[in-house]
Chains A and B, each alone.
Chain A
Amino acid sequence: GPKVLQIPSHQIIDMGQMVTLNCDPVSNHLYFYWYKQILGQQMEFLVNFYNGKVMEKSKLFKDQFSVERPDGSYFTLKIQPTALEDSAVYFCASSSGLGGRDYAEQFFGPGTRLTVL
């Protein structure tokens, strides 16, 4: 089936540094998402992105976070500067459509485990 890839699978950085998480979404999908999962807790929505713009973001999407997809390449989540509480697994997802139909299914990548020291 359709696959979403995420690079790297694990990233360890020092607090205050910048990190970029990369996502290669399903090729014909138009809508992109980032979710955050702290160990042992629920996966929580961060942001979604369409046509070069953020459509919706949650309160977890702090000012230090940004997303982009330059020239149809990777969909990226950048955190600058990082904080200890940013340690989590970040999941990227993509979908071909919206709404209450099966074509709105969000396909998830395997996640990037971010550890901030």
Chain B
Amino acid sequence: QQKVQQSPESLIVPEGGMASLNCTFSDRNSQYFWWYRQHSGEGPKALMSIFSNGDKKEGRFTAHLNKASLYVSLHIKDSQPSDSALYFCAVMPNYNVLYFGSGTKLTVEP
């Protein structure tokens, strides 16, 4: 069974700062990786996906994947108070099922 672990559990960054979220997974055959964001009272919403080793940048968000090290990360540049939310790493080892981490609660302080 795929194990997905996230760190830190919670993170506080100042407005304009950089937030770095980490995720490790256990299945070396995993192919597809997603970051989801969940605001209070809502369902998770996909932020970005990454399928190849290296970096993928979308605006202020950069995901990094290293399959050999079983590691994926998300970096948020110029953090805004609206980025405050619960962030989930999700691993899709096959074509259907998402395995979620336990989440990182990000708070961006004005």
Contact = CB atoms under 8 A, between A and B. Distances in A.
Contact of A106 (B31, B46, B99, B103): B46
A25 interface: no
A48 B31 contact: no
B44 A91 contact: yes
B88 A43 contact: yes
Interface stretch (B16-24, B66-74, B75-83, B90-98): B90-98
Given A55-B96, A99-B95, A100-B51, A41 B102 contact: yes
A45 B49 contact: no
Given A91-B44, A108-B44, A44 B96 contact: no
A43 to B, nearest CB: 4
B61 interface: no
Contacts of B110: none
Given A42-B102, A100-B32, A100-B51, A31 B44 contact: no
A111 B49 CA distance: 22
Interface of A: 4, 6, 31, 33, 35, 41-45, 48, 55-56, 58, 91, 93, 98-100, 102, 104-111
